[in-house]
Structure 1
Amino acid sequence: MTNLPENYQKKMKDLLQDQYGNYLQSFSNPVAYGLRINTTKISVEDFLKISPFHLKPIPWTTNGFYYDENDKPSKHPFYYAGLYYLQEPSAMIPAQVLPIEEGDLVLDACAAPGGKSTEILNKLNGSGCLISNDISASRAQALLHNIEKWGCQNVFVASEDISKLSSFYPDTFDKILIDAPCSGEGMFHKDPSLIKSWIERGNQYYVSIQKEIVKSALSMLKEGGQMVYSTCTFSKEENEDIIDYMLSICPQLKLLSIDLYDSFERGIQHPECIRIYPHKVKGEGHFTTLLQKGEKQSKEKQIVSINSIQNEWIQDFFSHVNKTFSNGTFEIRKEKLYFIPNFNTKRIRLLRSGLYIGDCKKNRFEPSQAFAMHLKKEEFDSTIDFSKEDERVIRYLKGETIQVSSKLKGWVLICVEGYPLGFGKIDKGTIKNKYAQGWRWK
């Protein structure tokens, strides 16, 4: 069992009382592994038909499944096709709880590495807009990669201080998700290295950070908007006390009840909140609450704005694309083509605006890896589709040149079992590999 500090053990014994022994016993349980299906690319039913893994439903999700550690889903072509995201099962709860509707404007305030943002994009289903933000520029790079693999166009990836965001976007967002930085007590089982940080910093270190984040977030939440606050810690100071702080600074705020799963514990003084303990569920520790700011308001209709790009090389490439774009504009920035959602990002620090489509080179256009992940097979008129067992799939993912029996010429969309992986350029049966170097199979 993990060597827990004595003062932590005392605190947990006071909190759990007669359940404390069961909590200690949970440290000898195996770690639970989960994947969540990308329903913007494939339905749950269709994924289960082609899945080679040993999957069991995670009971508090609609598209999450436990998998066996020996399955190794990160070493499968379907992972590179963006058909699922690997995520700790309890960490799926916050995005599941947030009642996102199509057309919503959503902020994921502490988004890296992207698990919750990708589920928000599932719920938006190509509509509305997500601002996926993380203050750490290095963590935001991983966030960007996971967002691009998910294949959505209605998202901005930002790396900005939330207090600065709040100065630009008062009363703006329909929904906000805050998975706050915390002391990580709920993850001691999965990642014992967090214990050292807990000893050095304790709980109070995070409280001021959490208060600043929720204060800024509440100012950005629309009247009638809803917000999830979550942590992966058991600390009352970082959970219920933060909820009390929010209620004190925002009188119109109210808690909404969460009814996901019978084995979740209720909050210490707020029964609407849920506490997830590893001795009660197959997953790590978590705290989640859902709040609403005043009464729900009617939503304005989205404005549709589409422009065309006057560039013969782009137009020639897009003659092969069978796809409709809406609620945004095409824009060339520094010889790169983007499709940018209708949202004013003002002066915030962005890693990516909308969908990066490709590069405008001299006398040619080269589509991006992100655009390949955005397309469906039927949306490009020149495709090569391999079975998942074909050894050329791995060779393609490693960046190698591959041979096929085909009379196609020019850009082709490389797929596995009908799901895009990336682009290549084909001539006389030889495919010159255009799979992005930073994405390759290792």
Structure 2
Amino acid sequence: MIKLPVEFERRMIQLLGEEYPKFIESFSDPRHYGLRINTLKWSVEEALHHLPFELSAIDWVKEGFYYSENERPAKHPYYQAGLYYIQEPSAMAPGATIPIMPGDRVLDLCAAPGGKSTQVAARLQGKGVLVSNDISNERIKALVKNIELFGVKNAIVTNETPDKLATVFEQYFDKILIDAPCSGEGMFRKNPEMIKSWEQHNVDSCVVMQKDILEEAAKMLRDGGYILYSTCTFAPEENEKQMARFLATHPEFQLCPIDEVSGYQRGNRLWGETEDLPMEHTVRLWPHHLKGEGHYLALLQKTGSRTEDVPFSGRRIAEKELVDFRNFEKEVLNQPIEEIYEGDYAVFKGHLYSKPKNLPSLQGLKVIKSGWYLGELKKNRFEPSQSLAMGLRAEHVKEPIVFTPDDERLHRYLRGETLHLEGQKGWKLVTVDGYSLGWAKQVQGILKNAYPPGWRWLT
């Protein structure tokens, strides 16, 4: 049994009353492990037919499943193909609750390492635009990798403060997801190191950060749009009280009811700053009521009718700049990239992207990824990217290399080794059961490995 801070225990006794013993008992329960199917690449039905793990459904997300502790889904080649994301079950609730429609403009404001962004991207189904932002220089690397692994084409990744984003994206987004930095009390059982962090970064400092983030998010939301605010903590100051404080200063927003789900508990009016607001519209995921570590959800809508789209223009890439890419396209692919994803071409320092349409100018922002990164335009040749590979399927290329999950050659490829394999020279898409893993280049009887060093299996 982990040792909890005395101040935390005192507050939880006051909040939970007679439920407190059950709450404390939950810290001794086994951890719950979850994975979420990537519906950008295959259906839930296909996944359940092919995945070799024993899975059981998570009630609040249709593509989410529990797996047992003795399973190792991160060691299966399907994980390297981006066919699912490993995620704590209650952390799937925000991405499942925000009302995403294909074609929406969505901002994930505190996005790293990418669990909620990949969930939102799957719900967008390649339509509209996703801006995934995180302020951390270190965590942004994991965010980019997970977006690429999932095969997301319509994402912009930024590394900015919310106030800087608001200068570019004023009233731009239809939906904004804020999984706010918090005191992390819902992580105590999963990661006892969070207790030390809780003692160093108290609730009050988190409240200030959350307030500032909400203020900037409000500026970026269009009339009629939604904000989904969430935390993985139990402190009312960061949850119901934070919502009450925001609504008191933003009368243009209202709380929306969240659908009933087995195990969800309603927010408490008494924990807000006023009893006049419908805090029961918000939701708490308590670890003693469901199989998850804990979360808080609040869905806010900005009143008013949706405003008309404002078209944005940018420099169109001249076809002569794409000659080497077009040659690669004809030699390797079965169809033009425009038929796979309808974006706008952009070149940055020799790097070719297909970016979402109708974006404002991003000048002045620290942009880490400008849409679907296709590859590098080098002198008289085009070198395809890992991002391009992960956005393709076997049927998109003329000569895919298809391995089964248990093929030793596949395992050697994932370790970065060169393979002896006959075939026509040129770039080849390596797949597992037809799902892309990365590139290799055929030269005579050798398959030169182009799998990124940072992605390789270490065993």
Q: Distance in 1 between matches of 2:312 and 2:136?
A: 32
Q: Distance in 1 between matches of 2:350 and 2:170?
A: 33
Kindly state the Cα deviation for residue 43 of structure 1 after the two structures are TM-superposed.
0.6
1:318 corresponds, among 329, 333, 338, to 329
For the pair 1:30 / 2:30, whether they are aligned, the reply is: yes
Q: 1:89-144: per-residue Cα shift (whole Å, max 9, x none)? A: 00000010000111111100000000000011001100000110001111111111
| Superposition map of 1:282-431 within 5 A | 282-297=291-306, 300=309, 309-310=319-320, 311-319=322-330, 320-321=332-333, 322=335, 323=337, 324=339, 327-342=342-357, 343-344=359-360, 345-404=362-421, 406-431=422-447
1:89 partner letter: P
Kindly state the Cα deviation for residue 301 of structure 1 after the two structures are TM-superposed.
9.6
Q: Distance in 1 between matches of 2:131 and 2:102?
A: 15
Q: 1:166 to 1:302 in 2, by over 3 A?
A: closer
1:25 partner letter: E
1:389 partner letter: D
SS in 1 for 2:238: coil
Kindly state the Cα deviation for residue 367 of structure 1 after the two structures are TM-superposed.
0.4
- Contact persistence 1:308–1:330 (CA under 8 A): no
| Superposition map of 1:229-240 within 5 A | 229-240=229-240
Q: 1:299 to 1:381 in 2, by over 3 A?
A: farther
Q: 1:255-299: per-residue Cα shift (whole Å, max 9, x none)? A: 111114131110011000001111111110110111100045276
Q: Distance in 1 between matches of 2:378 and 2:79?
A: 30
Q: 1:272 to 1:296 in 2, by over 3 A?
A: farther
SS in 1 for 2:345: strand
- Contact persistence 1:132–1:157 (CA under 8 A): yes
1:313 partner letter: D
For the pair 1:280 / 2:289, whether they are aligned, the reply is: yes
Q: Give 2:127's aligned residue.
A: 127
Q: Give 2:12's aligned residue.
A: 12
Kindly state the Cα deviation for residue 307 of structure 1 after the two structures are TM-superposed.
5.6
Q: Distance in 1 between matches of 2:318 and 2:47?
A: 36
Unaligned 5+ segments in structure 1 are none
For the pair 1:212 / 2:212, whether they are aligned, the reply is: yes
Q: Distance in 1 between matches of 2:392 and 2:308?
A: 29
SS in 2 for 1:156: strand
| Superposition map of 1:101-250 within 5 A | 101-250=101-250
Which segment drifts farther, 49-58 or 315-324? 315-324
- Contact persistence 2:154–2:356 (CA under 8 A): yes
SS in 2 for 1:19: helix
- Contact persistence 1:387–1:416 (CA under 8 A): yes
- Contact persistence 1:38–1:122 (CA under 8 A): yes
Q: 1:296 to 1:38 in 2, by over 3 A?
A: farther
Q: 1:23 to 1:59 in 2, by over 3 A?
A: same
For the pair 1:432 / 2:448, whether they are aligned, the reply is: yes
Kindly state the Cα deviation for residue 309 of structure 1 after the two structures are TM-superposed.
3.5
Q: Distance in 2 between matches of 1:436 and 1:282?
A: 36
| Superposition map of 1:232-271 within 5 A | 232-269=232-269, 270-271=279-280
Q: 1:301 to 1:390 in 2, by over 3 A?
A: farther
2:121 partner letter: L
- Contact persistence 2:428–2:440 (CA under 8 A): yes
Q: 1:225 to 1:191 in 2, by over 3 A?
A: same
- Contact persistence 1:302–1:327 (CA under 8 A): no
Q: 1:331-379: per-residue Cα shift (whole Å, max 9, x none)? A: 2221211112221223211111011111122222110011000111111
Kindly state the Cα deviation for residue 304 of structure 1 after the two structures are TM-superposed.
11
- Contact persistence 2:372–2:387 (CA under 8 A): yes
Question: How much is the aligned-residue C-alpha RMSD, in angstroms?
Answer: 1.7
Q: Distance in 1 between matches of 2:311 and 2:392?
A: 23
SS in 2 for 1:246: helix
Kindly state the Cα deviation for residue 427 of structure 1 after the two structures are TM-superposed.
3.0
SS in 2 for 1:142: helix
Kindly state the Cα deviation for residue 423 of structure 1 after the two structures are TM-superposed.
0.6
- Contact persistence 1:339–1:354 (CA under 8 A): yes
- Contact persistence 2:222–2:307 (CA under 8 A): no
Q: Distance in 1 between matches of 2:150 and 2:75?
A: 17
- Contact persistence 2:285–2:294 (CA under 8 A): yes
Q: Distance in 2 between matches of 1:186 and 1:302?
A: 42
Q: 1:398-419: per-residue Cα shift (whole Å, max 9, x none)? A: 1101123x43221110000110
- Contact persistence 2:153–2:341 (CA under 8 A): no
1:286 partner letter: H
With normalisation by structure 1, the TM-score equals 0.96
Kindly state the Cα deviation for residue 150 of structure 1 after the two structures are TM-superposed.
1.0
Q: 1:164-218: per-residue Cα shift (whole Å, max 9, x none)? A: 1112222111000000000001111111111112222321111110000001001
With normalisation by structure 2, the TM-score equals 0.93
- Contact persistence 2:256–2:300 (CA under 8 A): yes
Q: Give 2:272's aligned residue.
A: none
SS in 2 for 1:103: coil
Q: Distance in 1 between matches of 2:340 and 2:318?
A: 11
SS in 2 for 1:62: coil
Q: Distance in 2 between matches of 1:422 and 1:362?
A: 23
SS in 2 for 1:292: strand
1:123 partner letter: R
Identity %: 45
- Contact persistence 1:303–1:327 (CA under 8 A): no
Aligned length: 441
